[in-house]
Amino acid sequence: MTVHRIMGIESEFGILAPQNPTANPILLSSRAVLGYGQEVFPSRRQRMRWDYDVETPLRDARGFDMSRADADPSQFTDEDYGVANLVLPNGARFYVDHAHPEYSSPEVTNPRDAALWDAAGDRIMAEAARIASALSGEELVAYKNNSDGKGASYGTHENYQVKRATDFSSLVRHLTPFFVTRSIYAGAGRVGIGQEGTTPGFQISSRADFFEAEVGLETTLRRPIINTRDEPHADATQFRRLHVIVGDANMSQKMVFLKMGATALVLSMIEDGFLKPAVDLSDPVAAMHHVSHDIDFVHTLQLQDGRQMSAIDIQRHYLECALFYVKSRECDDEQTLAVLEMWGQTLDALAHDPSTLKTSVDWIAKRNILDAYRNRDGLHWSHPRLAAIDFQYADLRTDKGLAYILQTSGGLETMFTTQEIHKAVICPPEDTRAYFRGQCMRTYSDYVAAASWDSVIFDLDINQDLTRITTPDARKGTRALTEDLFDGLSASQFLHELQSLRQSAIR
């Protein structure tokens, strides 16, 4: 009934060498990740691996496995291609995913922590780019956006743990209209219409034009609104992991908090069978594009029952259900109430004067900057300077990125202090298994051969077998349960203590 559940965010970053625009992006990404690894783990000599043995990327939530012959190679995330990979002391994964560096945040239990460790990932990526620039003598710039402006899109994915008993068709039915319209506050904005951005204009979402299907397993081809990957990283009899690929890369900390919190509430209502009846869109894919292009909120969406509803009204339907849901269960959780309040205030502002949200909603903040240039210099939406400003908004350099400059001047509201973000860069959340994983990397990094979300593999000696420690329960391995294990024990003593006495702390 609250916004609290296991969740996390994965961000793929755009990366560019301005003096060498044709440079291989895989090489650039590898430089960044490996350079950061040298800084964080200076004594480590062996390549860090991901534990791919527990990955099942072709398992579909609809009850079947896609054959490898039918899958696009980009879906083979269970194969070790030898790319740069790090598991960090804050519990996150930082690695090269195809042609992009990706930061996958540690598991957290609430939207505030999701937004905090997402912000920490931005600083990690910026620092990795700085280190790579210093090591190679070639400047590297990282962008937290979703498109290169030439027809390619890269993702910002959310993950939510959901009860396995929840019927997947109910998730599809109720989440589809929610995701189609969520961009009105969670969109990052983009200059250009269409996948290649060749039609002049500005739109709400940086990702919407790249979605071509309602439901599916793919993430890079025929992207679906509802992704069906069934890879729970937990006890599969109890949970599934909802892999959400429709989201934009937000620079606004408040909008990360809101989109994660609102989604968590909708999931709770679906799990409890609370959302009746549904709001069924006539054509969800077309509606998703339509919502993104309707920056003045003048159009409505066609429903299957013949009604017309605006994107704001559809979001308000979910909000009103959530308000009644929370009230009926007498919930007074602080974050849940904060999400409901922010959700309502944001929708009211969108309905009456969207410009008042220029300090919190990314697409409105970005459009406000672009309109200032357009009005001052008489620029048409096709002018290349506007596309450059679009990119600069997402620049992760604090002295160059427009979002960071706005934050410094008070023009973009924040939720976290610099000190809080710095702590999240180096420390894991304390209330999930990410604490155990992060502390293993902090204390015994030279002995960790590989890791994944639900395992840590130790290599103590060339003459001994590897030791896999499994962590299937995301709510175990917390600071309260495992902190004393990391107090002065050698790696072998640590494993002995864990295996003989403390399995219940992590399983």
How many contiguous H segments (helices) and E segments (strands) does the chain have? 14, 20
Measured distance CA(138)–CA(170) in Å, rounded: 50
Per-residue burial over 353-364, b = 16 or more CB atoms within 10 Å of its CB, e = otherwise: ebeebbbbbbbb
**Angle, alpha carbons 151-153-159 (nearest 5°):** 165
Sign of the CA dihedral running 341, 342, 346, 347: negative
For residue 458, list its beta bridge partners.
448, 467
Tokens of 503: 């399995």
One-letter identity of residue 230: D
Q: Are 205 and 292 in contact (CB under 8 A)?
A: yes
Which residues fall within 8 angstroms of residue 16, CB to CB, at 6 or more apart?
Answer: 28, 140, 141, 143
Provide the angle, in degrees to the nearest 10, between the axes of the packed helices 111-136 and 253-271. Answer: 140
Which residues fall within 8 angstroms of residue 448, CB to CB, at 6 or more apart?
Answer: 48, 87, 440, 441, 456, 457, 458, 459
Active-site residue set: 97
Give whole-number Cα distances, 355 to 99, 184, 358, 378, in Å.
36, 13, 6, 21
DSSP state of 415: S
Sign of the CA dihedral running 244, 245, 246, 248: positive
3-state DSSP call for residue 100? strand
Length of the chain: 507
Phi, psi (degrees; rounded to nearest 5) at 322: -65, -40
